[in-house]
């Protein structure tokens, strides 16, 4: 469960300017549903909202709590609870191969080297990636990279999974493959997306418009509002 009462501003780059730029207006949210979608135009503040949830962004005012822990003073514990998947998997796959990336993630669990290796191979097999375990990350397709990033994040079994437009770089087949995998997860899933048909399948929808929460509720009404805002 996530509790957020926060706003985000940045100081002006030009010291002659006296006004900070507000990226996300003050909002108050309690996120408890199993599947929550976030939609909005590019630059609306969606990514900033998601990054608040695991401490990648610190609020300028207010607080964010995840399962009772605050991102302002317990960020390490929060990040253990909240797995974050970026739009571009190459932003987070830091090792040469899927095997090594999952093993790196598993170091948190203090397993022996042999146990880490076996566990990583088992996780990759569960995602249908075991035959690519020793392949270069750069030889994988976009869908295979995104599944590898997902496997790496979920290897440490977070309580909540946050995804920032994970299907943006994927074709239809790989998008379907990713979404089928997400549908089987026990974790709470909070995801931003431009795919309105996908957003319509979620339990709850947030619409972010020009840094403000424009809608919070069931998806059908929120999608209709978003279409009006976009028009």
Tokens standing for residue 191: 């995801």
Helix axes 98-106, 113-126, angle to 10 degrees: 120
pLDDT at 222 over 90: yes
172-183 helix and 142-154 helix, angle to the nearest 10 degrees = 20
Read off the pLDDT of each residue in 72-92 and give the average, rounded to a whole number. Answer: 91
How many Å apart are CA 231 and CA 229, to the nearest integer?
5
Mean pLDDT confidence for 119-134: 94
- Class (C level, CATH) for 2-91+144-230: alpha beta
- Mean pLDDT of all residues in the chain? 90
- What is the rounded distance in angstroms from the CA atom of residue 189 to the CA atom of residue 194? 16
pLDDT band per the 50, 70, 90 thresholds, residue 110: confident
pLDDT classification of 18: cutoffs 50, 70, 90? low
Q: What is the pTM of this model?
A: 0.90
Q: Find where tokens 């796959």 sit.
A: 93
Starting from the edge strand earliest in sequence, which strands make up the sheet with 2-10, in order?
Answer: 21-31, 2-10, 61-66, 69-70
Contact present, 38 and 190 (Cβ < 8 Å) = yes
Note the pLDDT of residue 14: 53
Burial class (CB in 10 A: 0-12, 13-18, 19+), 63: middle
What's 45's DSSP letter? S
Give the count of alpha carbons within 13 A of 70, CB side only. Answer: 8
For the chain, how many residues are written? Answer: 231
Q: Where are the domains of the chain?
A: 2-91+144-230
């Amino acid at each position: 469960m996530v509790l957020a009462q926060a706003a985000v501003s940045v100081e002006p780059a030009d010291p002659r300017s006296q006004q900070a730029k507000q990226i996300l207006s003050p909002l108050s949210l309690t996120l408890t549903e199993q599947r929550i979608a976030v939609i909005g135009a590019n630059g609306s503040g969606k990514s900033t909202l998601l990054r608040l949830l695991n401490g990648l962004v610190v609020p300028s005012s207010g607080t964010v709590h995840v399962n009772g822990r605050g991102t302002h003073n317990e960020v390490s514990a929060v990040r253990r609870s909240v797995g974050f998947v970026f739009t571009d998997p190459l932003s987070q796959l830091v090792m040469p191969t899927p095997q090594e990336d999952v093993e790196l993630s598993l170091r948190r669990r203090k397993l022996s080297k042999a146990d880490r290796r076996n566990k990583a191979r088992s996780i990759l097999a569960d995602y249908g990636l075991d035959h690519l375990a020793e392949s270069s990350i750069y030889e994988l397709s976009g869908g295979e990279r995104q599944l590898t990033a997902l496997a790496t994040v979920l290897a440490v079994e977070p309580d909540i999974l946050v995804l920032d437009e994970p299907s943006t770089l994927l074709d239809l087949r790989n998008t379907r493959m990713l979404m089928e995998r997400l549908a089987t997860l026990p974790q709470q899933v909070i995801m931003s997306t431009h795919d309105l048909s996908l957003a319509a399948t979620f339990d709850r929808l947030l619409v972010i418009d020009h840094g403000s929460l424009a809608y919070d509720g069931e998806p059908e009404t929120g999608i209709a509002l978003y279409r009006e805002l976009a028009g």
